[in-house]
Amino acid sequence: MEIHTCLASHVAAFNFTRDDLLRLKQRFPRITLGIHQNHADLLEAAGTAECILTWEFEKAWYPGFPNLKTILTPAAGSDWVAADPAGRVRLIHGTFHGPLLAESLLGAILFMNRRMPGMIRNFERREWDRNIQKDCRLLANQTVVIIGLGRIGGECARLLKSFGATVIGIKRDAQRLPMPLPDVDVRPVAELETTLPEADHVVVILPGGADTDRILNESRLGMCRQGAFVYNFGRGNAVASEDLAKVSDHIGGAFLDVVDQEPLAPDSPLWSLDNLMITPHSSCIYREYRAAFVDQVAAHLGRWLDRPTQSGR
C-alpha cells in the first residue's frame, strides 16, 4: 500500500514529525510511505497514492487521485477535508479526541465552579477575600447538560458521572448512543428548552454547520437557570458572541474553547467580561495527540493489511 502524508501544522502539538510517521513504517515494513510538508508536494503523488493522511483535502483534488481509496485525518470534524463527491474515497476522521477533550472540559467546569476568574483577580490585587467562593457547591450535587452526545460528548458524560454529577444528554437521535452510558438521561433536541432550566452547567459539543448555528441563542441562554455556567467545546457557530454578551449578567459565567470568529478579535466585548474564560481552541492540545492518531491509523492498517499476530502466524 502506498501511503502519503501531509500533516504539518503551526500548532506544535498537531505538527507531525518524520519520527511520528516513521512509526507506521516500522510497524508495517511493506508499505510505501511518502512524507510531505505542503500540499504542492502531496499533489505530485496524486497518480500513485492509495491512502492519504492529511489535515486538509479539497473537493477539486479527488479526480486527480485515481488510485486513492482512503483518507484519514486527525480532525474530529469535517471542516478541512471535503468528502469525495463521487463517493469513491472513504474518509475516516479522528476518533481519539474523547478522553483529551473530556479532561479539558472537566478542568473548565472545576475552574468555573470554584469561581477561579474571581480568585485570579483576587490574587492579582493581592487581596485576601475568602467570600468569593461562598456559593460554591460540590459537582456531585449539580446537573450538567451536554448538548451533543456523540463519541466525544459520551466520553465527557462518563468522566462527569465518575464525579457524581447528574448528567443529561441532548442528542438528535436519543435512541442511538455512541457507547453505553448508564445513568445518563438522554433526551431529544425537541426537549432542549425544557431541559435548560435544570442545568447548573450547560456544555455544547456540536459540529459546525447550518443545523447547529446559534443553537444556544440569546433566548435559550435566557432560559438557563440564573447563575448557570455555559461551555462551548465544539464549534464556535453554536454560541454567538453577541448573544453571550447580552446575557452575561444572567449566567454565572462562560468558558469558551471555541468562538464564532477565530481568532477572536482584540476588540471583542467578550474579552472584557469578568465572568468569562477563553482558551484558543486548545482543548485537545496534549503531548499524546500525535501518538493517538498514529495508533488509530495503525489499527486500520492492521486490519487492511492482514497483519500477522505476535505469535508469527
Q: Which residues are catalytic?
A: 235, 262, 281
Tell me if residue 163 falls in helix, strand or coil: coil
Q: DSSP assignment of 264-283, as one string?
A: PPTT-GGGG-TTEEE--S-T
For residue 249, how many other CB atoms are within 10 A of its CB? 9
Residue among 239, 206, 237 at smallest CA distance from 220? 239
Largest CA distance in the chain: 68
Residue among 22, 30, 93 at smallest CA distance from 307? 30
Q: Which three cell numbers stand for residue 152?
A: 466525544
DSSP lists the bridge partners of residue 144 as 167, 201
| Pair 37, 8: CB distance under 8 Å | yes
